[in-house]
Every structure is written in structure tokens, then in C-alpha cells.
Homo-oligomer: A and B are copies of this chain.
Amino acid sequence: MQRHFHEELQQVKDKTLRLGSLVESMVERAVTAMVDRDSNIAEETIRSDDKADALEIEIDDACLRLLALHQPTAIDLRFITTAMKISTDLERMADQAVNICQRAMELNAEPQLKPYIDLPIMSQLAQKMLRDSLDAFVEKDVPKARSVIAGDNKVDQLKRQIFRELLTFMMEDPRTIARAIGLLLVSRHLERIADHATNIAEMVVFLVEGRNIRHSSSPAI
């Protein structure tokens, strides 16, 4: 029974990392669809959202089985309920990647407003936060979780910088407004992906240290 427990727990970790990799690649491909102005990539990425939904359910089912059959307590119990919360965060990050794909297809249908420099950087930061938050989770690594939480500031700075630049475009030429808002929304989707990674990292600290370090997400524009 005990050996089964650890094998099944390992499966939950593996599946969580697998869903994380899928979501990370969806985010990367969504931004590539925009940067390379290739709407086929966007359509393909949207289709892979079903896989993310299915993996979330697999993780939840594995966790429910662990809870029902092995009645874990203490840290194992909290690890499993945290995995169930994280699976939801991951699935919603996949939804945000889908939203970026939809913005990309709209943007690709219009002349390009400007070269996309900051949005890919923001995406890379968010992807790294996602990867590190899940590593922190499976390894119960609090310092790594804290570094993810600290990284959220950089994402917020980039978001504000992007906002100011887009505002300048819109002020100077009202014909750019619709496209600028499309780019603004992409930056907000990436921000939400980084927020989810931060939420995961906060749950890891809470899991290991039992302390709630959550602060209200309160981004200035």
C-alpha cells in the first residue's frame, strides 16, 4: 500500500510537470503566432487546449484516488490538495494562451503596428515563472518559489512600459487604436499567466511553511 502511495504521488507530480510543459509551449507558440504573423500556429495552439483540459482532469482524478484509497495526512494531504488547485491554475493559463492566439489572429489580419520587442520578453519571463513555480512545487523548494514571486515585479514593469508606449501610438494616430488595444490585451493575458505562476509559488510557500504570504494582486496600470 505504502509503495503504491509513493508511486501514485509520483504520477501526480509527473502529470503536473507534463501539463506545465504543455501550457508553457502553448504560451510560447501563441506569442510566436503573433510575432511571426502566422495564424496557422495560432489555430494549432487553440486545438491543443483540449489536451490541457484532459490532463487537468487526469491530475484531479489521480488526486481523488490518492485521497480515497490512502487517506494521507499532514504534508502529503496538503500536497495533494495543492496539486488539485495547481491543476486549475494551469488549465486557466492554457485558456490565456488561447486568448493570445485569438488576439494574434486579429492582429495578423491588419498591417503590423510596430515590431514586437517587449511582448516576447514578457512571455519568456512568464514562461520561466511557470516552469520554476512547478519545479518549486514538486521539489517543495521554498527559495525557488520566492524567486518566482520576486520575478512578478519585472513582468509588471514591462506591462506598464508597454502600456505607456501604446498610449503614445494611440494619441498620435487614432487609426492605431484598435490594434494598440489588441496588443494591450496580449500584455494583460501574459500578466495573468505570470499571476497564476505567482499564485502557484505562493501556494508552495504556504504548503511547506504553513504561512500565508499572499498579497492582493494590485497592479497599477
Contact = CB atoms under 8 A, between A and B. Distances in A.
Nearest to A94: B216
Contact of A221 (B92, B106, B170, B221): B106
A77 B64 contact: yes
Interface string A17-46: 000000000000000000000000000001
Interface SS of A by simple majority: helix
A1 interface: no
Contact of A84 (B81, B91, B94, B102): B81
B178 A95 contact: no
Given A81-B81, A219-B99, A171 B167 contact: no
A215 B86 CA distance: 18
A49 B174 contact: no
A177 B167 contact: yes
Nearest to A54: B212
Given A84-B85, A218-B99, A68 B63 contact: no
Query: Which bracket fits the contact residues of A?
Result: 35 or more
Contacts of A68: 73-74, 77
Interface string A199-214: 1000000000000101
Interface stretch (A8-16, A116-124, A128-136, A182-190): A182-190
Interface of A: 46, 49, 53, 57, 60, 63-64, 67-68, 71, 73-74, 77-78, 81, 84-85, 88, 91-92, 94-95, 98-99, 102-103, 106, 167, 170-171, 174, 177-178, 181-182, 184-185, 188, 199, 212, 214, 216-221
29 contacts: A46-B218, A53-B212, A53-B214, A53-B216, A60-B81, A67-B67, A68-B73, A68-B74, A81-B81, A81-B84, A84-B84, A85-B88, A88-B199, A92-B217, A94-B216, A95-B216, A98-B218, A99-B218, A99-B219, A102-B219, A103-B221, A170-B170, A171-B177, A177-B177, A181-B181, A181-B184, A181-B221, A185-B221, A188-B188
